[in-house]
Amino acid sequence: MTAEEVMEILRGLDAGSVAAAGASYGEAASALETLAERIAQHIRTLSEHWDGTAADAALASLRRSGERALDASARAKRTAAALTWLGTDVLPVFRALPDPAGQPDAHAVASRYLAELDGNLTEAAEALLLDRTAPGPPTGQFAMAIHVLQLREA
């Protein structure tokens, strides 16, 4: 890959969209946390006014739903933090890196830029605590970083 191609990739990074995705995940985390709180309120209300086998089964199901909502909220918070970090702190720096064109070591400089970007994407993927044992190839905007992690683990 030429230095020009590397710089084209870096200039094409859409930090704003990544940061916006982080904000959306943050909103989802809040909504899921609110859902878990509402489920907990319903559990308290139902347990005060309903008993028996059917009540026990319903309350157990509601408890599982509340736990899943809290787990999803925690995952969404981690994703929000990783994407916000990428979109506000990392990608803007890479978009603003000086173009090495015309320098005798332009290719080496551009290669360092890509290696640093890959390191940051890997860090973000690790922060997401992704299930890298899931079947199938990784997809989405972090596919390259996930693929690198899989190669490192192999």
CA–CA dist 107, 118 (Å, integer): 16
Give the global pTM. Answer: 0.75
**Which of 82, 29, 40 has the alpha carbon at shortest distance from 65?**
40
User: Is the per-residue pLDDT at 149 higher than 60?
Assistant: no
Binned at pLDDT 50, 70 and 90, residue 136 comes out as: very low
Binned at pLDDT 50, 70 and 90, residue 1 comes out as: confident
Look at residue 61 and give its three-state secondary structure. Answer: helix
The mean pLDDT of 3-32, rounded to a whole number, is 94
CA–CA dist 21, 17 (Å, integer): 6
**Which of 25, 120, 40, 133 has the alpha carbon at shortest distance from 77?**
25
Q: What is the pLDDT of residues 24-47, one digit of tens each?
A: 999 999 999 999 999 999 999 999
Q: What are phi and psi of 97, to 5 degrees?
A: -60, 145
The single-letter DSSP state of residue 91 is H
CA–CA dist 115, 121 (Å, integer): 10
